[in-house]
Amino acid sequence: MSILNSSTTASGLSSASTSPSRQPSPDDSALALIEDHILPRLDPVFLRYVVNVVSKQPPNHLISLEDARAHPEKYRPPIAQALAATSLERVSDYVVSSQDGTSIDVRVYHPDPAKFGPGPYPVHMNHHGGGFVMGDLWTEAQLCLKMREAGVVIVDVNYRHCPETIWGKCIQDAWAALNWARDSSSTLNINPTLVSIGGVSAGAHISLVLQHMARDAGIPLKLCLVSVPPSTDGLGYRYYTDSPFASFHEFNRDPILPWKRIQYFGNFAMPQDKLPELRKLWPDWWFAPIRATNWTGLCDTYIRTAEIDPLRDEGEAYGMKLVAGGSKVTFKRYGGCPHTFMYLPFMKQKDDYDQDAIEALRIAHGTREMPTIGL
């Protein structure tokens, strides 16, 4: 196991309190949205984003689902805004049949053959974030474009979302996509024995479940690459104090993923009145992978967390369960960062995040660029 830590201390920004010698500024009201114990720990570049952008928008727990469905482009993360209007090279869309026969969309990103040869290539299955409610094939397009620079084919899975589909179908969709990719090795020009999985937030939760399912089905995985993963059934909590993890309490009013935002997703994905019925449909550990009963024989795992994130501690606790079960685990906590920092192109840690993903996939799959031969 290796543990990598990075830290950034915010400086040059005061709390929202004002002195008698000056009038309150617009920044004061924006910074007042952030609790005093969080403010000095946030990256200063992110703080400017809170002041200039986040504070001028309606709270994210008040987003109209109807509007989000009608105008998904309005709610895509900053890294996806420009990409949706461009033409992507070596990218193809496919349709996969899930376990119940429903069609789901996947997008496949191929690496540059001039750099990595003609293939067949390893394959990495990606599952986007969005609380099991938001997201589409543009949400993490930029992340997929970056990851393919490892010389790996990326399959981005647009699993079904709640509330239009009950929670749990997302896992069946992801499992179907994984098996489809392996069965379509000739079409996709991939090596079906070189497979990794991963995702962000809700997509990371899905990947943790797949990690156990693949082990049980005898499907070898090279890596489970998960970011800011929820490993509990936090969307089903009545109160944030239901969590046993300190970060869930400490950051319950953080500026990106506050408790009210988690409740927002929970009301669509795991509503209190439907939760007993949902729990009868699926294994308990699907809701909370940290409650899985068998921790042996699981693949290598890279867990990336954000310092200022209510989900930080439960993601790292899942990793320690893997360590206890004998798996190789790498941890990295990105200092000064909120839950969705990997979607914010102006943050230095986002660049580090992309490079870390490329290197992790290269190591897992043994890929390197073809050497350049000079004359």
Give the separation between CA 135 and CA 139, rounded to whole angstroms: 6
| Model confidence at 298: pLDDT above 50 | yes
Given this model, what pLDDT does residue 60 score? 86
Give the separation between CA 166 and CA 278, rounded to whole angstroms: 8
Model confidence band, residue 87 (pLDDT cutoffs 50, 70, 90): confident
Dump the DSSP string for 353-372: HHHHHHHHHHHHHT--PPPP
CB distance 302 to 221 below 8 Å: no
| Model confidence at 23: pLDDT above 60 | no
Structure tokens at 143: 């992340």
> pLDDT: is 59 or 44 the higher one?
44
| Model confidence at 369: pLDDT above 80 | no
Model confidence band, residue 371 (pLDDT cutoffs 50, 70, 90): low
Model confidence band, residue 81 (pLDDT cutoffs 50, 70, 90): confident
Given this model, what pLDDT does residue 28 score? 59
Give the separation between CA 350 and CA 260, rounded to whole angstroms: 25
Given this model, what pLDDT does residue 135 score? 97
Give the DSSP H/E element, type plus range, for residue 3: strand 2-5
Distances (CA, A) of 349 to 7, 14, 51, 79, 336: 10, 23, 19, 14, 9
| Model confidence at 357: pLDDT above 90 | yes
What's the whole-number mean pLDDT along residues 285-296?
98
DSSP 24: P
CB distance 165 to 174 below 8 Å: no
| Model confidence at 358: pLDDT above 80 | yes
pLDDT digits (tens, 9 = 90+) for 172-230: 999 999 999 999 999 999 999 999 999 999 999 999 999 999 999 999 999 999 999 99
